[in-house]
Amino acid sequence: MKIIPVANYEEMSARAAEILLEQVRSKPDSVLGLATGSTPVGTYQHMVAAYQQGKISFAHCRSINLDEYVGLGPGDTASYHYFMWHNLFHHIDIRPENAHLPDGKNLDAQDACTRYDQLVSDLGPIDLQVLGIGSNGHIAFNEPSDHFVADTHIVDLTDGTINDNQRFFARREDVPTQAYTLGMRPILNAKLALLLVTGPGKAEALHRSLTGPITPAVPASILQLHDNLIVIADQAALSKF
């Protein structure tokens, strides 16, 4: 594991984008594992800027996103589909057919999860997996639990996660209570995992994840088993170390 300490969000975003761009330069048909949330927005802005300046092309990249809310699809502004198109895909040259997220509109959970696992297995292993961390230690939507789950599955979101994500919705009641999420297998199998952590709200979760026991009660702790993990964290996020 390598920890890259940075001063702030902007520096975290710039460093993360450098690593992503280097990945795509060295392997233009990279499989990128992408994440949503506030954390990677700045990283995506740097990627868009590099594309617009003609420094990079994503035309041969494939992407696999971590998760999607059950019941939401591309037309819902709070969906992760919408987030990805709005923040990244619309502004770069990735081909729409190569940009993948779980199908939140497919309410047959078993079918939705099986299809996503098939896709991940067809495209994988992921070359570079971008990850954020929840204030409760979740990665993707693998919430604290008494067991780890390997493959794509449906999860009940915890009250804490619903509270954290309420800011993206008009009302708390609008936040979906379930999501489809990748399991731990493709995350651990990614050739490089890039964990981005910013702000004091993540300090406790980050410290427990990297220094505590490996336990499903702190899902990100499983990253201690990753062979090639880079953590880019700002001062506030590293304050418990």
In the beta sheet, which residues pair with residue 63? 32, 99
Q: Which residue is nearest to ligand PGA (CB)?
A: 37
Binding segment (CB under 6 A) for ligand PGA, from list 33-41, 113-121, 187-195, 210-218? 33-41
Q: Residue 39: what residue type? A: T
The answer to whether residue 65 is catalytic is no
Q: Taken in order 19, 116, 173, 161, is the CA torsion positive or negative?
A: negative
Q: Which of 50, 126, 133, 222 binds ligand PGA (CB under 6 A)?
A: 133
Q: Residue 105: what residue type? A: K
Q: Say whether residue 6 binds ligand PGA (CB under 6 A).
A: no
Cβ closest to ligand PGA, residue 29 vs residue 174: 174
Listed in sequence order, the residues at least 6 apart from 143 whose beta carbon sits closer than 8 Å to its beta carbon are: 134, 136, 155, 156, 157, 158, 161, 219
Minimum CB distance to ligand PGA, residue 201 (Å) = 8
Minimum CB distance to ligand PGA, residue 57 (Å) = 27
Query: What is the helix (H) or strand (E) element at residue 73, kind and residue range?
Result: none
The answer to whether residue 67 is catalytic is yes
Q: Say whether residue 132 binds ligand PGA (CB under 6 A).
A: yes
Minimum CB distance to ligand PGA, residue 132 (Å) = 3
Axis-axis angle for helices 80-87, 41-52 (nearest 10): 40
Q: Say whether residue 37 binds ligand PGA (CB under 6 A).
A: yes
Cβ closest to ligand PGA, residue 113 vs residue 133: 133
Q: Say whether residue 42 binds ligand PGA (CB under 6 A).
A: no
Reduced to 3 DSSP states, what percent helix, strand and coil does the chain have, rounded to the nearest 5? 40, 20, 40
Cβ closest to ligand PGA, residue 59 vs residue 170: 170
Q: Say whether residue 134 binds ligand PGA (CB under 6 A).
A: yes
Q: Say whether residue 221 binds ligand PGA (CB under 6 A).
A: no
Distance between alpha carbon 75 and the CA centroid of its chain, in Å? 21
Q: Determine the size of the site formed for ligand PGA (CB under 6 A).
A: 6
For 203, phi then psi, to 5°, come to -60, -45
Q: Say whether residue 206 binds ligand PGA (CB under 6 A).
A: no
Query: What is the helix (H) or strand (E) element at residue 4, kind and residue range?
Result: strand 2-6
Tokens of 69: 């809310």
Tokens of 78: 């709070």
State the CB neighbour count (10 A cutoff) for residue 41: 15
Minimum CB distance to ligand PGA, residue 175 (Å) = 13
Cβ closest to ligand PGA, residue 13 vs residue 98: 13
Residues of this chain that bind ligand PGA (CB under 6 A): 37-39, 132-134
